[in-house]
């Protein structure tokens, strides 16, 4: 493996390399967003290039679409694909129930639509993402720009009613301006520290006018893969209840490392 990659990047690569085993010829594949998902896109592109793999990708963000297209993966709109065989995506946090917090990169809305429209969601992670209780990672909530401060106040009130301390909410910035999602919306990051009842919080947030979607992914993830820098990966499948510790075949001279300058 490329000596230039730090251990976390190596772990992400290992997890992505294992995840692409779920992709078969002719599949429609949801392509996640983020640094881990980018490794998966590079792995798939290599299979398209070297093995003639024939897949159709649906990207969860403009940047993933650009990466996939630039590497030779066919990308279509979800309206065209309609339904997907598998989606592979990263996560910011996951717990033992495979509930996720996503949206650190602001792509949670399209990611959730794509994951929901998939037969299987495979989540690729590194050891830093596993938590006992969700919430240390701020929960992203996508809101429309109109009246966003009022929406924020309504979120604060709803959290108090749920006995969750939601007073620390920040508008996500991109340098000096507000961050805009691919849909032109804003992101509020909820610094909750602990999230005991994800189902309830998610439900309540999505009832508030102005909230488009939140970053909690509940009952969507089928498989989580936790890669490690030594080339091992823990693969947990929630549907068949298996947890396997595997060694992933990695090629030190893999051309995808040169794609990223590693
Ligand atoms: O909006 C971004 C996504 O939910 C990402 O999948 C998530 O933030 C994980 O990203 P990374 O793999 O870069 O840690």
pLDDT in tens, 73-94: 999 999 999 999 999 999 999 9
Which of the listed residues 62, 90, 216 should we mutate to test ligand 1's pocket, taking the one with most ligand atoms within 8 A of CB?
90
pLDDT at position 262, please? 35
Using the predicted structure, report yes or no on whether residue 34 has a pLDDT greater than 80.
Answer: yes
Q: Which of 93, 111, 142, 213 is catalytic?
A: 111
* Ligand 1 site residues, Cβ closer than 6 angstroms: 32-37, 89-92, 102-108, 111
- Strands 56-59 and 28-31, sheet pairing: parallel
Active site (annotated) includes residue 111: yes
Per-residue pLDDT reduced to its tens digit, 102-115: 999 999 999 999 99
pLDDT at position 261, please? 41
Using the predicted structure, report yes or no on whether residue 212 has a pLDDT greater than 50.
Answer: yes
User: Rounded to an integer, what distance in angstroms lies between the CA atom of residue 23 and that of residue 21?
Assistant: 5
Residue whose CA is at the smallest distance from ligand 1 atom 7: 91
For residue 102, how far is its CA from the centre of ligand 1 (angstroms)?
A: 6
Per-residue pLDDT reduced to its tens digit, 90-100: 999 999 999 99
If we measure between CA atoms, which residue out of 70, 50, 48 comes closest to residue 59?
Answer: 70
Conformation bin of residue 106: beta by default, left when phi > 0, alpha when psi is -120 to 50: left
**Ligand 1 nearest atom to the CA of residue 107, by list position:** 1
Which of the listed residues 8, 12, 32, 34 should we mutate to test ligand 1's pocket, taking the one with most ligand atoms within 8 A of CB?
34
Averaged pLDDT for residues 143-167: 93
User: Rounded to an integer, what distance in angstroms lies between the CA atom of residue 165 and that of residue 16?
Assistant: 36
Using the predicted structure, report yes or no on whether residue 149 has a pLDDT greater than 90.
Answer: yes
For residue 202, how far is its CA from the centre of ligand 1 (angstroms)?
A: 19
For residue 104, how far is its CA from the centre of ligand 1 (angstroms)?
A: 5
Residue whose CA is at the smallest distance from ligand 1 atom 10: 34
pLDDT at position 3, please? 52
**Ligand 1 nearest atom to the CA of residue 140, by list position:** 1
Domains and their CATH numbers in the chain: 7-128+219-259 (3.40.50.1360), 139-215 (3.30.70.260)
H or E segment to which residue 100 belongs:
strand 100-101
Using the predicted structure, report yes or no on whether residue 211 has a pLDDT greater than 70.
Answer: yes
For residue 33, how far is its CA from the centre of ligand 1 (angstroms)?
A: 6
Pair 110, 60: CB distance under 8 Å: yes
Predicted TM-score of the model (pTM): 0.96
Using the predicted structure, report yes or no on whether residue 154 has a pLDDT greater than 70.
Answer: yes
Choose between 49 and 261: higher pLDDT.
49
Averaged pLDDT for residues 4-15: 92
Instruction: For residue 254, name the pLDDT band (cuts at 50, 70, 90).
Output: confident
Residues of each annotated binding site: 33-36, 89-92, 102-105, 129
Using the predicted structure, report yes or no on whether residue 1 has a pLDDT greater than 70.
Answer: no
ipTM of the complex: 0.99
Averaged pLDDT for residues 224-228: 98
For residue 25, how far is its CA from the centre of ligand 1 (angstroms)?
A: 26
Instruction: For residue 2, name the pLDDT band (cuts at 50, 70, 90).
Output: low
Question: Which residues, other chains included, contact 241 with Cβ-Cβ below 8 Å and sequence gap of 6+?
Answer: none
Choose between 249 and 256: higher pLDDT.
249
180, with CB counted inside 10 A (0-12, 13-18, 19+), is middle
Averaged pLDDT for residues 168-194: 96
């Amino acid at each position: 493996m490329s000596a230039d990659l730090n251990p976390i990047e190596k772990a992400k690569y290992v997890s992505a390399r294992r995840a692409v085993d779920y992709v078969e010829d002719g599949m429609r594949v949801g392509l996640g967003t983020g640094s881990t998902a980018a490794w998966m896109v590079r792995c798939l592109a290599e299979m398209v290039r070297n093995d003639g793999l024939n897949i159709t990708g649906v990207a969860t963000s403009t940047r993933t679409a650009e990466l996939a297209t630039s590497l030779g993966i066919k990308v279509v709109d979800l309206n065209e694909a309609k339904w997907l065989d598998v989606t592979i995506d990263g996560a910011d946090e996951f717990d033992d129930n495979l509930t996720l917090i996503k949206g650190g990169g602001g792509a949670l809305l399209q990611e959730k639509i794509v994951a929901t429209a998939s037969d299987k969601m495979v989540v690729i992670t590194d050891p830093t993402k596993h938590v006992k209780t969700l919430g240390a990672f701020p929960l992203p909530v996508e809101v429309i720009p109109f009246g966003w401060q009022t929406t924020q106040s309504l979120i604060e009130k709803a959290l108090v009613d749920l006995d969750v301390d939601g007073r620390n909410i920040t508008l996500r910035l991109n340098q000096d301006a507000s961050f805009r999602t691919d849909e032109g919306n804003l992101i509020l990051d909820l610094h909750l520290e602990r999230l005991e009842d994800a189902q309830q919080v998610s439900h309540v947030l999505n009832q508030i006018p102005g909230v488009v979607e939140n970053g909690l992914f509940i009952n969507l993830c089928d498989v989580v893969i936790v890669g490690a820098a030594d080339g091992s990966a823990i693969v947990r499948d929630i549907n068949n209840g298996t947890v396997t510790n595997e060694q992933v075949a990695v090629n030190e001279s893999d051309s995808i490392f040169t794609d990223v300058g590693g």
